[in-house]
């Protein structure tokens, strides 16, 4: 019986990507509050004005992309656990159906890129909102 994983590089690589995704998850979650915070504190929108009446579409789109980033990060962590099982040559399934190494690797890549690009798009749209806002 082997005492270590068959593919130790998978575990090492997985840990590094998980750190990146965890950081992006935290930043995306915090950035969800940016449009509301910036609108009240820096753009001078009165406290009695409803934000839904004054926020432009870019603020809503930023929330959508940040939400995509968060959901993709959660999906990444889910498939990351599957990837670790594959490193130990354990059977891996999704909703009771077996999945291949290639499927898990593709799911990791797609969810990683969606996390990163969703975060960047959300931050960019928040900046556009701040720069172009006119009372």
Q: 3-state class of 33 per DSSP?
A: coil
pLDDT tens-place string over residues 1-30: 457 777 777 788 889 999 999 999 999 999
Say what the pTM is: 0.85
On the question of pLDDT at 112 being above 80, the answer is yes
Domain ranges of the chain: 24-98+110-132
Sign of CA dihedral 83, 85, 88, 93: negative
Report which secondary-structure segment, H or E, holds 66.
Answer: helix 57-87
Mean pLDDT for all residues in the chain: 88
Query: Which band of pLDDT confidence, cut at 50, 70 and 90, is reported for residue 56?
Result: confident
CA 130 to chain centre: 22
* 76 Cβ neighbours under 8 A, 6+ residues apart: 17, 18, 21, 108, 111, 112, 115
Cα 61 to Cα 77: distance, rounded to the nearest angstrom = 24
């Amino acid at each position: 019986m082997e005492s270590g994983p068959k593919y130790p590089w998978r575990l090492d690589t997985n840990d590094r990507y998980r750190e990146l995704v965890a950081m992006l998850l935290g930043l995306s979650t915090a950035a969800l509050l940016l449009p509301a915070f910036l609108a009240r504190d820096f753009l001078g929108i009165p406290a009695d004005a409803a934000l839904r009446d004054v926020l432009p579409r870019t603020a809503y789109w930023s929330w959508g992309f940040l939400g995509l980033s968060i959901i993709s990060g959660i999906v990444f962590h889910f498939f990351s656990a599957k990837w670790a099982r594959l490193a130990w040559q354990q059977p891996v399934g999704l909703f009771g159906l077996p999945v291949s190494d290639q499927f898990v690797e593709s799911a990791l890549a797609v969810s990683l890129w969606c996390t990163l690009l969703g975060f960047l798009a959300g931050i960019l749209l928040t900046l556009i909102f701040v720069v172009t806002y006119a009372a």
